C-alpha cells in the first residue's frame, strides 16, 4: 500500500509541476532552473525541520549533494530541449531514456532483477515496451504541429533531451548507493541542486528578476511541486527499487496528458489526437502496474 501511495504523490506532483510557470518569460533556461531549485531547497529545509530525522554526517552529505549537482545539469538540459524543440518532442526523447537508464542502473548496481529466467525477462521487457509505447503515444499525439527554426536548433534540442534523459535517470543513484534515509538525504540533495543551478545562473550573466510579482509565486509553485514529487519518487525507489520505482514515476506524463485534454482542452476532447492520448494513458498505466508487481 505504501508503494501505491508514494506512486500517487509522485505521479500527481510531477504531472503538474510545469504548469504554473509554463507561460513565464524567463531570461533563459538557467534562470528557470534556479527558481525551481530555490523553491525545492526551501521545501527540503522545512521538511527537515519538521521530520527531525537526525543529523547527517559529512560522509553521508556528499553523495546526495553530488546527485543534486547532476540534477541541476539535467534540469538545464530539459528546459533547453523544451525551448528548442518543444515539450512533446523533448519529452518523447528523454522519457524513454529515463526509463531504460533507470532499469539498467537497477539491474547493474543493485541487482534488482536476479530472476533472469526467459519468462521473467520476457515479462520485464514486455512491461517496459508497453510503458514506452504508451508514453510515446501520449507525447506525439499532439506533437506534430510544433516547428523549429533551423537544423542547429534541432540538433541542440535533441542533444539536450538526450542529456536530460540520461542524467534524470541517474541523479538519484548516488543517494540510493549511500544508504542514507531518504528523509535525511533529501536536504543535501536540494543543496546540490541549488548550488549547481546557482552556478549555471551566474554563468549566464542574466538578471534573475521577473517581470511581474505574481510570477514569483508561480515559479515557486513549480519548484514546490517538483520537490513534493521528488520526495515521493525517492520513497518509491526505496520501496520498490531504483529500476521499478523511477520507471513508475515517469507515469506522471499520464496526469499531464489528462490535464491537457480535460482542463486545458489541448488536444480537444473527442479528436483523433485525444483518442491516441487516452489509449497511451491506458497502456502506460497498465504497463506501470504490471512492472510494479513483477518479482
Q: What is the pLDDT of residue 222?
A: 93
CA neighbor of 145 nearest in space, from 87, 93, 95, 96: 87
pLDDT more than 90, % of the chain: 32
Tell me how far apart the alpha carbons of residues 272 and 142 are, in angstroms, rounded to a whole number: 9
Q: How far is CA 129 from CA 96, 122, 294, in A?
A: 10, 10, 14
- Per-residue pLDDT at 88: 67
Q: From the CB of residue 71, how many other CB atoms can be counted at a distance below 10 Å?
A: 28
Residue with cell 509565486: 217
Residue spans of the chain under pLDDT 70? 52-56, 88, 114-116, 142-149, 264, 266, 292-295
pTM value surpassing 0.75: yes
Amino acid at each position: 500500500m505504501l508503494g501505491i501511495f508514494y506512486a500517487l504523490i509522485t505521479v500527481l506532483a510531477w504531472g503538474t509541476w510545469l504548469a504554473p510557470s509554463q507561460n513565464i518569460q524567463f531570461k533563459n533556461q538557467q534562470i528557470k532552473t534556479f527558481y525551481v531549485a530555490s523553491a525545492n531547497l526551501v521545501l527540503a529545509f522545512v521538511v527537515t525541520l519538521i521530520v527531525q530525522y537526525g543529523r547527517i554526517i559529512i560522509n553521508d552529505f556528499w553523495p546526495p549533494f553530488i546527485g543534486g549537482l547532476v540534477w541541476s545539469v539535467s534540469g538545464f538540459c530539459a528546459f533547453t530541449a523544451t525551448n528548442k524543440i518543444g515539450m512533446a518532442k523533448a519529452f518523447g526523447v528523454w522519457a524513454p531514456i529515463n526509463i531504460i537508464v533507470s532499469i539498467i542502473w537497477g539491474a547493474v548496481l543493485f541487482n534488482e532483477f536476479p530472476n533472469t529466467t526467459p519468462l521473467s525477462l520476457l515479462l520485464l521487457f514486455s512491461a517496459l515496451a508497453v510503458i514506452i509505447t504508451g508514453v510515446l503515444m501520449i507525447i506525439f499525439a499532439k506533437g506534430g504541429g510544433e516547428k523549429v527554426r533551423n537544423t542547429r536548433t534541432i540538433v541542440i534540442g535533441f542533444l539536450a533531451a538526450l542529456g536530460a534523459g540520461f542524467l534524470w535517470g541517474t541523479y538519484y543513484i548516488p543517494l540510493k548507493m549511500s544508504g542514507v534515509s531518504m528523509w535525511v538525504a533529501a536536504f543535501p540533495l536540494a543543496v546540490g541542486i541549488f548550488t549547481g543551478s546557482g552556478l549555471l545562473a551566474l554563468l549566464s550573466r542574466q538578471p534573475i528578476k521577473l517581470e511581474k510579482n505574481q510570477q514569483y509565486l508561480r515559479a515557486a509553485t513549480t519548484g514546490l511541486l517538483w520537490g513534493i514529487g521528488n520526495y515521493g519518487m525517492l520513497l518509491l525507489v526505496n520501496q520498490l527499487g531504483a529500476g521499478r520505482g523511477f520507471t513508475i514515476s515517469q507515469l506522471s506524463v499520464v496526469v499531464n496528458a489528462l490535464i491537457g485534454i480535460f482542463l486545458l482542452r489541448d488536444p480537444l476532447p473527442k479528436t483523433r489526437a485525444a483518442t491516441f492520448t487516452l489509449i497511451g494513458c491506458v497502456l502506460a498505466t497498465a504497463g506501470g502496474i504490471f512492472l510494479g508487481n513483477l518479482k
